[in-house]
Amino acid sequence: MSSQGQRLTPLEMLATLVSFDTESSKSNLPLIEFVESYLQSWNVPYIRVPNAAGDKAALYATVGPQDRGGIVLSGHTDVVPVAGQAWTSDPFTLRVADGRAYGRGAVDMKAFDALALALIPEFQAANLKTPIHIMLSYDEETTCLGVIDTIRRLGRDLPLPKAAFVGEPTMLEVVDAHKSVVTFSTTVHGHEAHSSKPYLGASAVMTAAEMIGELNRIADEMMERGDISGRFDPPYTTVHVGVIEGGTARNIISKICAFQWEFRGLPSLDPQEIPNRLDRFAQDVAIKRLNRFGDFGRIETTLEVAVPGLAPEPGSVAEVLALRLAGRNHTQTVPFGTEAGHYQAAGIPTIVCGPGSINQAHQADEYISLEQFEAGAAFMRRLAAICAAS
């Protein structure tokens, strides 16, 4: 392979990445195959890490020395759906107008991906002493699990990085903490009977209501505990039930009732506390009431998604370096979840920092300002200069 590959400007790279429809329900392999071809043209070594089904893959590339860990630039390739949104133009064709670049994923977060890839020739020319790793993952918008299999290899058959920068849009503010996002589905199985004779059945709906009441009590307690750091909005762990469905008719004791719920926990929260408390309530109170007239029912709770929080690590390599690169003197928090907690759990100092605003994500005519896009490029060029010096 020639060491001189295809040169794409950052904006051309963004247009190419946006052109791939990588909604989380679809395969990202066409995008990954394009990136692999691009990396090959520049002689950049990489690994592909497929999911179990083989229809999606993460990619991990290294520019610079291969025998040591460096700085990870971590971005996801999947995007949220466009269905039902009133776009002014084709969401998968980048449109540049009025100082903005419009397209699905333009800010969340193909801009960060595009910058890392387009600047590879500059990274190579810098003769890096500390490598820059580029991680492209999948399923961040749904489960945040697309990075897991690759992260498990770091420190094993791949060098453990010194730090990770997750490039979610933060207006290049340095974020050192965010809440966890953990979601569940609870199903109550009862027994149908005529509502005039409740002793012949077991009401799934009424039992589910008791379970939800307990979640309300837990939510109130979490609010009272508050946030000692005072950095989060809202300043406490939140508990929320978003969907409930059950019953057949007003005069039939309900057989099934299911509800979907979540908590968004402060970094200090034990992730097992809330589900364990609900399970104890189910066993000590709810199931006994459900089955007071006979062994009719059961209650099942299934964990669906668990995105770990990101806890502050004052003075970490990631924080110090990111503050220097971004020209900031303090860190911030964000209300949304990211893949950052997975890196931190693997012992890699991690921050969240990327160009653009989350306020423009997940909506029609999603965009990143060209000013922020250019600022993101400057951030990465400064990183290359530091990695070349040490």
Can you tell me which residue has the tokens 């700085």?
A: 71
d(CA 248, CA 203): 11
Same domain (yes/no): 86, 202: no
Same domain (yes/no): 246, 324: no
Total tally of structural domains belonging to the chain: 2
pLDDT score at 2 = 39
Residue finishing a domain among 253, 284, 307: 307
Catalytic amino acids?
Answer: 78, 140
Same domain (yes/no): 48, 172: yes
Residue finishing a domain among 307, 338, 365: 307
**AA letter at 33:** E
pLDDT score at 165 = 98
Residue finishing a domain among 248, 273, 307: 307
1 part of a folded domain: no
23 part of a folded domain: yes
Same domain (yes/no): 102, 59: yes
Tokens of 89: 């133009």
pLDDT score at 390 = 86
Same domain (yes/no): 385, 257: no
Tokens of 31: 């995008």
Closest-CA residue to 341 (of 74, 49, 43): 74
| Residue 120 domain boundaries | 10-178+310-389
16 part of a folded domain: yes
Same domain (yes/no): 142, 237: no
142 part of a folded domain: yes
pLDDT score at 90 = 98
Q: What CATH code is carried by the domain that includes residue 143?
A: 3.40.630.10
4 part of a folded domain: no
Same domain (yes/no): 52, 164: yes
Give phi and psi for 58, each to the nearest 5: -95, 160
Half-sphere exposure of 64 (CA within 13 A, CB side): 27
207 part of a folded domain: yes
5 part of a folded domain: no
Instruction: Give whole-number Cα distances, 308 to 8, 263, 331, 337, in Å.
Output: 35, 11, 19, 8
Mean pLDDT in consecutive groups of 10 residues from the start of the chain, 390 residues? 74 98 98 98 98 98 97 98 97 98 98 98 97 98 96 96 98 98 98 97 98 98 94 96 98 98 96 98 97 96 96 97 98 96 97 98 98 98 96
DSSP 284: I
Closest-CA residue to 96 (of 12, 186, 184, 5): 12
Tokens of 16: 């190419």
Q: What CATH code is carried by the domain that includes residue 252?
A: 3.30.70.360
pLDDT score at 6 = 82
d(CA 344, CA 141): 19
| Sequence-distant contacts of 237-242: CB under 8 A, at least 24 apart | 237/179, 237/263, 237/264, 237/265, 237/266, 237/269, 237/274, 238/263, 238/264, 239/215, 239/263, 239/274, 240/264, 241/212, 241/215
d(CA 211, CA 218): 11
Same domain (yes/no): 158, 197: no
363 part of a folded domain: yes
Same domain (yes/no): 347, 291: no
Same domain (yes/no): 155, 25: yes
Same domain (yes/no): 164, 186: no
Tokens of 243: 């969907």
The DSSP bridge pattern shows strands 46-50 and 57-63 to be antiparallel
Report field, pTM of the whole predicted structure over 0.85: yes
Q: What is the DSSP string of 136-192?
A: EES-TTTTS-TTHHHHTTBTTTBPPPSEEEE---STT--EEEE--EEEEEEEEE-B-
Same domain (yes/no): 187, 299: yes
pLDDT score at 1 = 35
